[in-house]
Amino acid sequence: MINLCEIKFSTGEFTITKAYASDLQRKIKVFKEETATKKVVFLTLITTYELKDNTYLHSLVQQELDMSIFFD
């Protein structure tokens, strides 16, 4: 298993749009092709604040972390 991390800065709740979801899918595909990995790739999204709950979040992101993990 590989956790592929994407880090985004936002001044508030971050939303994964259709266009950004497509970009994330492309990044995962390129990573798999370039590394020729046979392992499962999970997307971990690290953001300043929480992610907005929507379909793209549930279909792409296996783990989400925000900056609160550093202050708990």
How many other β-carbons are positioned within 10 Å of the β-carbon of residue 35?
12
What is the tens place of the pLDDT at every residue in 25-38? 999 999 999 999 99
Length of the chain in terms of residues written: 72
Locate 72 and state its tokens: 């708990």
- Please give the pLDDT value at position 71: 84
DSSP state, residue 62: E
Please say whether the beta carbons of 61 and 51 come within 8 A: yes
- pTM for the structure as a whole: 0.88
DSSP state, residue 1: -
